[in-house]
Structure 1
Amino acid sequence: MAAVKLTDIMKKRQLLSFELFPPKTEKGMSNLSGTIEHLREFHPDYISVTYGAGGGNVGANREVCRMIQKAEMVPVTHFTVIRNTKEGIKEQLKAYLDEGIDHILALRGDFPRGENSTGGDFKYATDLVRFIRNEFGDRFEIAVAGSPEGHIACRSLEADIAVLRQKQDNGADYIMTQLCWNMEQFKYWLDAIRKAGITMPVDVGIMPVLDQAATINMALSRNGCVMERELSRIISKYWIFPNPFDKEPFDDALEQKKADFKKAGMEYTIRQIDKYRSLGVDGIHLYALNKWKDVTEIINACGMCTRV
């Protein structure tokens, strides 16, 4: 059994956690240890670490997990089925357990560029959850992704909820949600999954709104998210001409707009966290984007945690 059961903590109180990604450079990796130390001041219940398609950065993933352990916190590793065989998955998961990493977010993962299949032995996250349970029993605590607006690859929200129920039936422990700015939709989804017999705790994933291009990219190219009126208004108010994706925008007020957008975006993020907390969700999982200063400002402003 996993040494620390996050689901047991969720029965007592709301969790606070962060997501980090393995930097691609040595300098980025060396800087990350400082970021982890700063985040540690909030006593997060865990820190999750992303995992590249096909496990291309699995070595870096494990290194970041070890850094989190060294800082005396709980790492939760992402894990995908992309280009993974059953034997390969088994070997990798044994390696994680040997290093004391026994919390996992089981994902299908994004298809590699130019491909339209997983290229491995499993097609879905449901298969991975079942495999982990069959092979390792309760040695892992398993989180799974939940999409309040429905996964973009799923034919309907109802079908997506049915898949989430299957993940629970196959042995998943709790849900980490994809980003969702539409609060009414989230409330509908939360009610719908409970009616479907899904009792898993819900840990809400929140991406801080800091950069126009990144916000639009995450919403439209990855998740098909509805950008609610308030967020769209902020983007419009500080729109960078000709567009925020241009490497050399001609906007005369570029730096001021970036600063104003970031300030408004952080205030928007804080209000969103307030709304989620008021719904009684089981945890707030903040995508730290490896930026501890911005996260610190957000956490302090919404009063979730006091630095010690």
Structure 2
Amino acid sequence: MTRISYEFFPPKSLQASFKLWDTIHTLAATAPDFVSVTYGAGGTTRKLTHEAVTTINKETGLRVAAHLTCVDASKAETMEIAESYAAAGITDIVALRGDMPGGGAFVPHAEGFASSVELIEALAADGRFNIRVGAYPDRHPEAASDDADVEFLKRKIDAGATEALTQFFFEAETFLRFRDRCAAAGIDAPIVPGILPIENWKGVKKFATGCGTTIPAWLEEAFTAAERDGRADLLATALCTEMCTELLENGVEQLHFYTLNKPHLTRDVVHAMGLAPEPALEKVA
């Protein structure tokens, strides 16, 4: 059976809190394997992430994975955060290097972890955590080559990570080629494709450009036409469903959806693929 999981980001306002809980309520009915909560760049949402993770865990019963990064914190401070998650019964961690606030090259804290590999090693040595890491089907902006991305992922798996969640991509073939390169490099841990349903093409295109995700020319043309005709949501649902179906037909067993705290397109794709039951219609007396 195909497993599904979702990524949320922590709310920064009361209105955003309502939006997050609406997203959780909408998608909890699809019985996800787990949900994760992100960190902002530079650890800017560290406290908000902790609050969101512990509240979701306590109030919903969903399995929650907390993002943890190396940015702007000492090793002791970072492991103290991990300890607080373990004390709350949360032992799933997505371990990442993280991005600097305002962008720019990564600069380790003077007393902090120098890389995600060091963070993973520390979490693995603790022995209480299930550790997931990031992976990049399209070349990471800081990577010297496609092979360098694969080699670094292998280092993270060898350090103690149990599973990788990929950056989003726009064509199934991108992921499948990456999976083949990982297998050839001796990586045998599960690699889960990250799926981003396109709620807003302009915003997604900007996001993709920033993280190095290749934008196919045909996709730009398709959304330009669909937006002109008022069919963007229909196109997004169809394309995402088609790509996910192709992934499953090629042996993928889990899909990780980046929801951007907007649940409805993700829910529609999950239902269209038959991965969750359709909500029951209320009977009219």
TM-score (norm 1): 0.84
- Of 64-73 and 102-111, deviating more is 64-73
* CA separation of 1:38 and 1:184: change in aligned 2, threshold 3 A: closer
- Aligned residue in 2 for 1:185: 174
Equivalent of 1:294 in 258, 265, 272: 265
Task: Write the letter of the residue equivalent to 1:150.
Answer: R
**Structural RMSD (CA):** 1.7
Structure 2 CA distance for aligned equivalents of residues 227 and 56 of structure 1? 29
- Aligned residue in 1 for 2:90: 101
Task: Write the letter of the residue equivalent to 1:170.
Answer: A
Structure 1 CA distance for aligned equivalents of residues 138 and 266 of structure 2? 25
After TM superposition, the structure 1 = structure 2 runs for residues 263-302 of structure 1, keeping only pairs within 5 Å, are 263-302=234-273
Structure 1 CA distance for aligned equivalents of residues 143 and 137 of structure 2? 12
Structure 2 CA distance for aligned equivalents of residues 114 and 154 of structure 1? 16
8 Å Cα contact 1:76/1:103 also seen in 2: yes
Q: Deviations over 1:60-92 (max 9, x none)?
A: 112221232221110111111111211111111
- Aligned residue in 2 for 1:130: 121
Equivalent of 2:190 in 180, 201, 209: 201
State whether structure 2 residue 55 is matched by structure 1 residue 67.
Answer: yes
Gaps of 5+ in 1: 1-12, 240-255
Q: How far did residue 218 of structure 1 move?
A: 1.8
Structure 2 CA distance for aligned equivalents of residues 122 and 76 of structure 1? 20
Equivalent of 2:7 in 6, 13, 19: 19
- Of 260-269 and 19-28, deviating more is 260-269
- Aligned residue in 2 for 1:50: 38
Structure 2 CA distance for aligned equivalents of residues 142 and 234 of structure 1? 38
SS of alignment partner, residue 22 of structure 1: coil
* CA separation of 1:36 and 1:114: change in aligned 2, threshold 3 A: closer
8 Å Cα contact 1:209/1:268 also seen in 2: no
* CA separation of 1:37 and 1:189: change in aligned 2, threshold 3 A: same
Structure 2 CA distance for aligned equivalents of residues 186 and 119 of structure 1? 30
- Aligned residue in 1 for 2:282: none
* CA separation of 1:202 and 1:114: change in aligned 2, threshold 3 A: closer
Q: Deviations over 1:177-228 (max 9, x none)?
A: 1111233332221111111110011111101112121121121112x12222
- Aligned residue in 2 for 1:213: 202
After TM superposition, the structure 1 = structure 2 runs for residues 98-247 of structure 1, keeping only pairs within 5 Å, are 98-113=87-102, 115-120=104-109, 121-134=112-125, 136-137=126-127, 139-222=128-211, 224-238=212-226
Q: How far did residue 47 of structure 1 move?
A: 0.6
Q: Deviations over 1:4-63 (max 9, x none)?
A: xxxxxxxxx432011111121112113422321221111101011011123221221122
State whether structure 2 residue 23 is matched by structure 1 residue 32.
Answer: no
8 Å Cα contact 1:106/1:128 also seen in 2: yes
Structure 2 CA distance for aligned equivalents of residues 273 and 201 of structure 1? 17
Q: How far did residue 114 of structure 1 move?
A: 5.3
TM-score (norm 2): 0.91
8 Å Cα contact 1:182/1:227 also seen in 2: no
Structure 1 CA distance for aligned equivalents of residues 242 and 107 of structure 2? 38
Q: How far did residue 307 of structure 1 move?
A: 4.3
Q: Deviations over 1:142-192 (max 9, x none)?
A: 001111122111100111111111111100000101111233332221111
